[in-house]
Structures are given as C-alpha cells and as structure tokens.
Structure 1
C-alpha cells in the first residue's frame, strides 16, 4: 500500500472512531462485522509499521467488544456476524465476549458453534484441547482471511512440527500481505531452525525481510534470524544470508548485523564474524551508503577486532581494542571490551591483573560472577593460543550471560 493510501486509511479509521462513539451513546446498531473488517485492515497497517494504526487499535477493540455484547441474539444467526465474532476472538479479542454469545450462534453441533468453542478453548490456553477440536477443520475449504486465521491458530496449538508447518504455510498463502502472514512467517522460521533446514529457513526469512521488516514484531524475527545463522553456520548458504541482510534498510541492517556479530563472537565463531565484518566494511566504502549509527559502528569494530585475534597479534589487537571510543558503546559492550582486553593481556603477562576488566561502577548481582570468572582464568596460567581461544570463549559466554541478566 502506498503512502497516500495509508494516510487515507488512517484518516478513515479515525473518522470511523469519532463517528461511532456518538452513535453508540444513542443506542444505534454498530454493525460490529464492519468494524472487525476495519480492525483487520488496521492490523495489516500495523504489519507495515504504521504506528498510528497501532495506537488506534485499542479504541477500535473496545468499540467492537461493546458492539458484540449489546447485539441482539437473533443477529448472530447471520453468518457474517457469527464469523466476525470468531474472527474478533482469534485477533485477540476478549474471550468473555465470545463465551457470552456462543449460545446465540446456534445448536452445539453446528459447525460454526464448534469453531467458536475451539477458538474459545484456545483463548483460555487449553492448547491440546483446541488442537483436537480443530483437527478436522479445512482452512483451505473455508478460505479467505477467516480460513487463514483458523490455520494460524491450529498451527499455534499443534505439537507436531510438520503439521504446524503445513498450517502456517496455509495461513500465509491464504492471506498474503496481512498480519496473519507476518505471524505465520515468524513461526515458520522457528520450526525450520529447530528442524535444521537452512534452505527453508532462508526462504521464509527472505520473505519476511522484504515484506515485514518494519513490523513492531520484527524484533522476534531478528532474534530467530541471528540464532539460526550462528547455529546452522556450517550448512547455511552465507551468500544468500548476506543478501537478506543487505536488502534490509537502515537502521535494521545495522542492528541485525551487530546482533549477529555479537552472537558469533560469544559462540567463538570467528570466521562468521570476519565475513560479516567484511560485508560491513564494503558498505561503509560505498559513496552513497547511509551514515552509520556511531554506536553500531563501534560495536562492529569491537566484534571484528575480537575475531582477528591470533597468537601472533594478540598485543596489537589488544591495543586496537583500547583505542575504541568507549562513549559510543553500550554499557554491556564496555564490560565485554574490558573483559576481552583483560583476557588478551593474560596471555602475554606472566602475572596478569584483572582490574582492567572490572566495571568502574559495580553492577548489583553481576560483579561476583564477573570476578570469579576472571580469577578462575588467571589461575589457569594461560601460555598458549589454543588455551587462550578456549578460555576466551568460555569467559565470553559467562560474561554474556551476566550481561543478559543485567539487562
């Protein structure tokens, strides 16, 4: 959707909200099924990164909920209203509203009532029961966004990865360009990572990066992407991986790059850090490249230098690390920088000290862990590069765990 179209939709939704409130006060029919359609369009705008739609969502949900609660019982026999009620529930609506109106949808053996009960069970957190009740549902036969939403819900409650994969693929194919597809793609990434399927993972990740990178839920995409690339590095097509990163606009590209470099550094995958570092250096040399956030640039330098350490250049790299502008690093990365410098010095200093690695401001609950890990390394009396690499990786993992707890 173009920028002008998005503005028009936002204005239309705002107008709808201001116009509906007086109508509600006068007791007029609100036609909730129309508002559910507007909510679904609003969700698609949210998937596109429209913050104004995200802000209006709460008020729209309140109006829809009130409309369903006050609707006459006979009105729910109309399929458009019954489906709208269930769609509202699948979109995160109030489960009490669906529960209070199920009896108005028909007899307990009616298909629409069975669907409503299954969705209500899902809303209440009984995933296994919901999966059983949705087992014979045909999302493709139902079709449209309603069928896509049912497929998404069933995929969420299904324990079998293969069945969940089928449902998530069905959901995204039935509702392309929607928040349903966005959610399905994120969950497909998790499944493909768990199944160690790099080809399928990259295919799904590429679709997400090209379509939904502005989504407010893209942080989950970034986490899955970074973890999968590091975990499956030995079988991952790095050329395609880098193409996906290159396609991302700034600041997403820089943020994902630095997350990936940090994860690879902690895991001791120096080769992956070097490859990502080379990509970053190529981008900064481009004349038309956007200006890089100083903090992101400093973090990339930090991880790149760590990946370059060898037994021959440990002193040189330690000196380069000390020249990094600490003001452009986050607190957690300053601590990591101090730790790496201390470990590097321990390789060549016969009586290494650890004061350089202790944060200037002690962190509650974290200093004890940090001191113990560094002293433990000191007692080993590192003398060779093999010991250094193994010990550094262990220390980085301990430090990273500490920093995660601090955050």
Structure 2
C-alpha cells in the first residue's frame, strides 16, 4: 500500500508542477492537467487512507494545501467543463482551500452544477451553517454526479445531526451507498455510531460498529472512531438499562479484547460516578471475564466491582477485595477512589459510617448511604482528571 501511495504522490506532484505557465511555450491548453484529473488522484490518496495507508494520509494532507495554486492558475476556459466545476466543489468539501471556489463564484453559478450547490458548499466550509443549510438541504444527493453525491449526503447529515438525528442517519446511509469503499463511507459510519449512541439506539449502534470494524478497522481514523465510540457511551448513558446491557456487551465483541476492556472500564468508572452501581458492577465483571488482561487491568476491574458492591450490598466482602488491590497498579486518578472506597467499606463493616454533605454535581438517589455519597464525590473529582486523559488533542486535520 505504501508503494501505491508513493506512486500516487509522484503523479500528483508532477501535476502540480505542470501549471499553465509551464506550458506557455507550446500553448496547448490540453497539456495542462485538468482539475478533475487532479481530484481523481487526490481522491485515490484519501481512499487509501481509509484502508489504513498512513503514507497516503500524510501525503493527501499536504497536497490539499499545495493544490490551491495550480487550481487558481487554471485557464478560464476549463471552468466551462462540468467535470472541473464538480472537482472544485469536491476539493473544498474534502478539506481544500476555499479561495479557488470563491474566485469561481465571482463569475456566477459554475457550469453544470445545480443552483445552490457551489455557494452552499462554500458557506459550509466557511462556517456559515445557516446559509449552508438553506442552500444544500433542498438538493437531492442521488441526483448529483457520483463524484459529489456521497459528499453532499454526508454534509447534509452533518448540518442536521443536532436537530434531526433520525433523518441524519438516513442521509448517512445514503452517503455510504453512494460512495462505497471511500473515505466518505468511512466518515459516514463514524458519524452514524456517534448519533446512534446519542439517541440510545443500541441496534443501530451495534450494526454501525460491526460495519465499521469489518470494513475500516485499519483506517487511519480508526483510533478516533474507537475513542468516539467510548466517549459516546459515557456521554449519552448507553447501557444504563440493565435489560439492554447484554446487547451492549454483544456490540463490544466487534472490538478486540484490549479495546473491549478499555471501553468497559470507562463504562464502569462513569457508572460509578453517576450512582449507577449495578451497571458499574456488571461492566467491571465483564472486564474480569475477558482473558489476557494484565495485572493493572485486573486491579482496576476489582476496584470498580468492589466499590459498586459497597452500595449494592453494604460492602459484603468488598473490604477484603479492596485490601488485596495494589494501589500502585492503579492510575493516579483512580487511587483516590480506592482510598475512599477502603475507608467507607471499613466504616460500614465497623458500623460507624457517618453522614456527610452531598457534593454538587450529578443528582443521586435520595436513599444513598452517606458513605456512598462520599464515594461518588471522590469518583466525580477523579472523573474530571480522567476525562482530560481520554480526550485526544485537537488536530488541524480535516476528516470527513
């Protein structure tokens, strides 16, 4: 794959050098690479990135920037060809510089494009989402050329994913069907997982997750997908219904064991923070069932199981479990939970648990033991630090 990426890079770099000025001597406009030809090569690099080719991913990012000048220097006659006007919209929606489309629009509606598509695309990449919605939502992606159809459906889904998640999912399905095997399909599946988690649709979440892992597990964006998946579970309370928990576990089987453990531990910690002790216990016990975990993983699973049991059955046996945990195997953000759990479990065993004020934050059941409230407060404090570790740094990379 890396060899393919290098060959594609070579072709595109030659195209970049072949600007109109380079061909001024022979005066043959046909010798100048057309925008649609440049975009075909760039799209090939992007699709390679979707299959996991990191060299292609690095190259397409650079080339998106480098293409602006050759495109700006095109002879005015090339814009009479709809293939080239489609290519410019595709370039901009793929993360390219918007300047060339701005210049093209100064001449009126580009040739061969439905009214509103080009200015709507420009509004979208410039952050004017209200204008983009007005111009782009009335368009039918299925009526566009195949080079743009999937991208338009993906953009439309992004525009309404906060206001109409059901329709956004339909548009994401359409994007996948219109651009199979491409970076557009990969991006559509990632967004579908996020929306399914947000609206608590486990069936859809399971389907989209399995499809993504089956088709794009090697994608350069796969790590981002896994992080979004786990964050979605945490942020939108997926799995809080005990009746649906087995289905959640089934969904996680699309991941390898290490990834399953990581996600389940996030669920266990977050459930503990929010006072969903049964969910915390079940998630931690699922971690323990997975073979091959290291000692740190075993310690973390034991911590959350024991901490949840303090609330569920007054800590019967939890104190002994907590005492056997080596705190040095826990992350610093979990050590406070361990210390607090040990103290509360000991107080329960001794019958000396004392009332404390309930901290501000997530509402807790009114019948919580005061000691358990302190445990939740400690978990809440730890969560803020843990979340900073979970959130990946913001990158300037544009992804579908």
Q: Same fold (TM over 0.5)?
A: yes
Deviation readout 1:322-367 (Å, 9 max, x if unpaired) = 43233333221223323333333443467789xxxxxxxxxxxxxx
Supply the distance in 2 between the matched residues of 1:19 and 1:324 (Cα, whole angstroms).
Answer: 61
Structure 2 CA distance, aligned partners of 1:320 and 1:245? Answer: 27
Match of 1:288 in 2: none
TM-score by length of 2: 0.78
Query: 308-317 or 42-51: which moved more?
Result: 308-317
List gaps (5 residues or longer) in structure 1.
1-5, 285-290, 354-373, 379-383
Q: Distance in 1 between matches of 2:277 and 2:240?
A: 11
| Offset, 1:85 | 0.6
Which residue is equivalent to 1:188?
192
- 4+ residue runs over 6 A deviation: 350-353
2:258, 2:16 → 1: CA distance? 39
Structure 2 residue 160 is matched with structure 1 residue 177 = no
CA distance in 1, matches of 2:6, 2:217: 24
- Out of 149, 152, 167, the position equivalent to 1:150 is 152
1:258 match: 265
Q: In the alignment, which residue of structure 1 is the partner of 2:393? A: none
- CA displacement at 1:320 relative to structure 2: 2.7
CA separation in 2, counterparts of 1:327 and 1:54? 39
> What is the aligned partner in structure 2 of residue 305 from structure 1?
306
Asked if the contact 2:176/2:188 (under 8 Å) is kept, the reply is: yes
> Aligned to 2:5, which of 7, 10, 18?
10
Number of aligned residue pairs: 369
3-state DSSP class of the match of 1:217?
helix
Specify every segment of 5 or more residues in structure 2 that has no aligned partner in the other structure, as ranges: 24-31, 360-366, 391-400
Task: Give the TM-score of the pair, scaled to structure 1.
Answer: 0.77
- 1:211 to 2:194 alignment: no
Residues 276 and 161 (structure 1 numbering): CA distance in 2 closer, same or farther, change over 3 Å? closer
Aligned to 1:59: 62
Distance of 1:251 and 1:166 partners within structure 2: 32
Which moves more between the two structures, 16-25 or 219-228?
A: 16-25
Higher deviation after alignment, 237-246 or 66-75: 237-246
Superposition CA RMSD, Å:
3.4
- Distance change (3 Å), C-alpha of 1:305 and 1:25: farther
Task: Return the alpha-carbon distance in structure 2 between the equivalents of residues 109 and 143 of structure 1.
Answer: 13
Q: Distance in 1 between matches of 2:76 and 2:165?
A: 40
Partner of 2:116, secondary structure, is: helix
Identify which range, 291-300 or 170-179, moves more after superposition. Answer: 291-300
CA distance in 2, matches of 1:300, 1:145: 48
How many Å separate the matches in 2 of 1:311 and 1:165?
38
- Distance change (3 Å), C-alpha of 1:293 and 1:348: closer
Stretch of structure 1 that moved more, 255-264 or 219-228? 219-228
Distance in 2 separating the partners of 1:233 and 1:227? 11
The equivalent position to 1:27 in structure 2, one of 22, 25, 28, is 22
Distance 1:178 1:297 in 2: 40
- Aligned: 1:49 with 2:52: yes
Q: Is the 8 A contact 1:13 1:38 kept in 2?
A: yes
1:88 aligns with 2:91: yes
- The residue that corresponds to 1:72 in the other structure is 75
The CA deviation at 1:395 is 4.2
Q: 8 Å contact 2:20–2:74 — kept in the other structure?
A: no
| CA 350–46 in structure 1, closer or farther in 2 if over 3 Å, else same | same
Instruction: Confirm or deny: 8 A CA contact 1:205 1:225 kept in the other structure.
Output: no
Kept in 2: contact 1:332–1:403 (CA 8 A): yes
The whole-number CA distance in structure 2 between the counterparts of 1:396 and 1:231 is 19
Between 1 and 2, higher relative CO (CA 8 Å, sep ≥ 6) is seen in 2
Q: How much does 1:118 deviate?
A: 0.6
Within the candidate set 136, 139, 150, 2:138 is matched to 136
1:277 aligns with 2:284: yes
CA distance in 1, matches of 2:74, 2:295: 56
In structure 1, what is the equivalent of residue 364 of structure 2?
none
**Structure 1: distance between partners of 2:73 and 2:59:** 22
Distance 1:37 1:256, change over 3 A: farther
